[in-house]
Amino acid sequence: QVQLVESGGDVVQVGGSLRLSCAASGRAASSNAMGWFRQAPGKEREFVAVISRTGGSTYYADPVKGRFTVSRDNAKNTVYLQMNSLKPEDTAVYYCAAAMYYYCSEPEGYDYWGQGTQVTVSS
């Protein structure tokens, strides 16, 4: 079992920045690819970014490419999502997830999920 706890969500103005954290604990917490997803009201959960086990590979969804950066510190079992130039359409609950076997953008490839943290971008 891997437990994931997100933090860092807040209300921020358009153009602002925010850094989300995802603390992992449990069995082999640092041995998983880690993804970030988000879900806005009335919409399906969508992929945001993924980082490989070692942090050597990352992949982003087109809407966030160039604005968001995913990173990890395996010594701290923590994954981060740095979000810059935030837009109103970034408003959502953000979830981190751990994938034991895959490095992918599909939610089905992830085995463990956090409870989410709310990000609201106000204009």
Q: What sign does the dihedral 79-84-86-89 (CA atoms) show? A: negative
* Per-residue pLDDT tens digits for 18-70: 999 999 988 666 779 999 999 999 999 999 999 999 999 999 999 999 999 99
Percent of the chain with pLDDT over 90: 87
Task: State the DSSP code for 57.
Answer: -
- Both tokens of residue 71? 């990173």
Residues contacting residue 115 through CB under 8 Å, at least 6 positions apart: 5, 6, 95
Three-class DSSP category at 26: strand
